[in-house]
Structure 1
């Protein structure tokens, strides 16, 4: 999942910069890029939540406090 997060972050960063530039050139394209940016940020949050749930399950399986 690490590669997917990096790709999403890279595309989101480039998309945001491109959307700012497009605000001065073409407003409709800028709005579309901002919508894509919002979707990518949502995808990153979903990946982070899934990763956290996976870590939590792994911690629960490796919990040896009740010896």
Structure 2
């Protein structure tokens, strides 16, 4: 695999990991809502939003690398 493909692969894997972290936090927030734990749900939601921002940035980076 070429060096560029290696970097692109790594970038996409990093983005996927961050997207999974975001999804996990959304699932935790939903579970907290199901159990009437509103403060915990808000905390999970806040973490999910931060993970979403990071995931977006990593996705843009991965896309940029893939476009070269």
TM-score range, shorter chain: 0.5 to 0.7
1:10 matches 2:20: yes
Higher relative contact order (CA 8 A, sep 6+): 2
Unaligned runs of 5+ in 1: 59-67
Deviation string for 1:30-64 (max 9, x for gaps)?
A: 101001101111111111222334455x3xxxxxx
- Larger Rg over CA atoms: 1
Q: How many residue pairs end up in the alignment?
A: 57
Secondary structure of the 1:25 match is coil
* TM-score between both structures, scaled by the size of structure 2: 0.67
Unaligned runs of 5+ in 2: 1-10
The correspondence for 2:62, drawn from 46, 51, 64, is 51
Q: Output the aligned Cα RMSD.
A: 1.6
